[in-house]
Amino acid sequence: METLILSSDNEDIRTAANIIKAGGIVAMPTETVYGLAADALNGKAVRKIFQAKGRPMDNPLIVHISDISQIHLLVREFPRKAEILADRFWPGPLTMILPKSDKIPDEVSAGLDTVAVRFPSHPSALRLISLSSPLAAPSANLSGSPSPTTVRHVCDDMTGRIDAIIDGGDCDVGVESTVITLAQEPPRLLRPGGITVEQLREAIGEVIIDSAVTEPLAEGQKAASPGMKYKHYAPDAEVILLDGDAEKFIEYINTNGKDGDAVLCYNEDLGRLRLPCIPIGSEKDTETQAHRLFSALRETDRLGIKQVYAHCPSKEGVGLAVYNRMIRAAGFKIIRL
Ligand code: AMP
Ligand code: MG
């Protein structure tokens, strides 16, 4: 299949909307990561997303809207807490799980009784949705690999597999949206992202953090969010997290690092490590770390790195999202120093 590369100008977005309306699939920029979009109300079109990504059919998709009035087409209930969160954080990097309406095809919800909904803030995504329909869109990467935050990442994974790619420059947040379920009480955080659990609690009170955010699923444990049971975000290199202060981190790597290894480091470590370094931001700047993480993981593949060492991130604020992605990239391997 030939993949059309489109710009973000009005004419090209209109072309992309026509592809969607005809049942095709298009990669679009959002403020979190690039998404791979199809008409959310067309089950046959949505199926193509799973095929292009190699995504297991039991992993449901997020539906993206461009106007709050579209919510009532998608959900049976819109509880007061969801309204508060929508007022506060939409448009933006927050996904809410709610009881689904009968309009949602089984392909989108993977047979669950709920649907995940998000109102993104990226102007190209909003224009595309308003010219076509609500869009089901997971991240536009091959299943299992780091999510795409630049148009180059999307081209690397999706050229020849999808109808079109809209070039919208680099994504701002860099990690996928925060996912919270309001289909149960108290609400539960299923995936951390750019909207922090501290912000959610400030808005609606109690929010439980699902154990799968920071821990591997126990043998036989059912995932509250099906996506959490799959290997994720992994580059070809083996990722090893080191938990300890800066001095121990540097000493461990300078003693144990081998040729062909590299480090995802903080800016403060630069010049002190004897392996190739890919800086992901300052130690305290978790937003920059989130912004750069997936690019840095993909860079290790480009360089043919075998093992990559990284700091075990802080779990505060956006750090929880960085931690959640890093421990999955590392297959939960952490060396305590
Ligand atoms: P992605 O599409 O890659 O951004 O991943 C979307 C995440 O949201 C995955 O972890 C899904 O399993 C999760 N998700 C989507 N819909 C639901 C739902 N109805 N209930 C629980 N988790 C969901
Ligand atoms: Mg994904």
pLDDT in tens, 56-92: 999 999 999 999 999 999 999 999 999 999 999 999 9
pLDDT at 267: 97
Decide if pLDDT at 231 tops 80: no
Q: DSSP letter at 35?
A: E
Residues, the chain, total? Answer: 337
Ligand 1 centroid distance, CA of 205 (Å): 23
pLDDT at 216: 87
Ligand 2 centroid distance, CA of 250 (Å): 32
Ligand 1 centroid distance, CA of 46 (Å): 14
**Confidence label for 225 from pLDDT (cuts 50, 70 and 90):** confident
**How far is 261 from 240, CA to CA, in rounded Å?**
11
**How far is 4 from 167, CA to CA, in rounded Å?**
10
pLDDT at 221: 77
pLDDT at 181: 98
User: Helix, strand, or coil here: 39?
Assistant: strand
**How far is 289 from 326, CA to CA, in rounded Å?**
11
**Confidence label for 224 from pLDDT (cuts 50, 70 and 90):** confident
* 97-225-318 Cα angle (round to 5): 80
The amino acid that residue 101 corresponds to is S
Number of DSSP helices (H) and strands (E) in the chain, helices first: 11, 16
- Please report the domains of the chain, with CATH numbers, ordered by start residue: 4-213 (3.90.870.10), 238-336 (3.40.50.11030)
Contacts of 294 (CB under 8 A, 6+ apart): 33, 146, 147, 148, 149, 153, 174, 175, 233, 325
Q: DSSP letter at 31?
A: S
176-199 pLDDT tens trace:
999 999 999 999 999 999 999 999
Residue range 28-33: mean pLDDT, rounded: 98
**How far is 336 from 264, CA to CA, in rounded Å?**
17
8 A C-beta contact, residue 182 and residue 98? yes
Strand partners, 28: 35
Task: Name which residue sits closest to atom 11 of ligand 1, judged by CA.
Answer: 227
**Confidence label for 135 from pLDDT (cuts 50, 70 and 90):** very high
Task: Name which residue sits closest to atom 20 of ligand 1, judged by CA.
Answer: 225
User: Helix, strand, or coil here: 252?
Assistant: helix
Ligand 1 centroid distance, CA of 104 (Å): 14
Ligand 1 centroid distance, CA of 204 (Å): 22
Residue range 249-271: mean pLDDT, rounded: 96
The amino acid that residue 11 corresponds to is E
pLDDT at 230: 66
Ligand 1 centroid distance, CA of 139 (Å): 11
10 Å Cβ neighbour count for 169? 11
pLDDT at 227: 74
Site to probe by mutation for ligand 1, drawn from 107, 179, 217, 229 as the one with most ligand atoms within 8 Å of Cβ, is: 179
Site to probe by mutation for ligand 1, drawn from 59, 98, 108, 180 as the one with most ligand atoms within 8 Å of Cβ, is: 59
CA 2, 233, 294, 24 torsion-angle sign: positive
Strand partners, 265: 279
**Confidence label for 218 from pLDDT (cuts 50, 70 and 90):** confident
Name the phi and psi angles at 26, rounded to 5: -135, 135
Instruction: Kindly list the protein residues whose Cβ atom lies closer than 6 A to any atom of ligand 1.
Output: 59-62, 97, 109, 112, 114-116, 138-139, 176, 179, 190-191, 225-228
Decide if pLDDT at 165 tops 80: yes
Decide if pLDDT at 47 tops 90: yes
Ligand 1 centroid distance, CA of 282 (Å): 30
Task: Name which residue sits closest to atom 2 of ligand 1, judged by CA.
Answer: 138
Site to probe by mutation for ligand 1, drawn from 46, 61, 228 as the one with most ligand atoms within 8 Å of Cβ, is: 61
* 33-289-180 Cα angle (round to 5): 55
Smallest-distance ligand from the CA of 142: 2
In terms of Cα–Cα distance, which of 237, 251, 246 is closest to 307? 237
In terms of Cα–Cα distance, which of 85, 279, 269, 91 is closest to 173? 91
Q: DSSP letter at 100?
A: B
Say what percent of the chain tops pLDDT 90: 92
**How far is 65 from 78, CA to CA, in rounded Å?**
15
**Confidence label for 203 from pLDDT (cuts 50, 70 and 90):** very high
**How far is 136 from 106, CA to CA, in rounded Å?**
12
pLDDT at 234: 81
Task: Name which residue sits closest to atom 12 of ligand 1, judged by CA.
Answer: 227
**How far is 67 from 47, CA to CA, in rounded Å?**
25
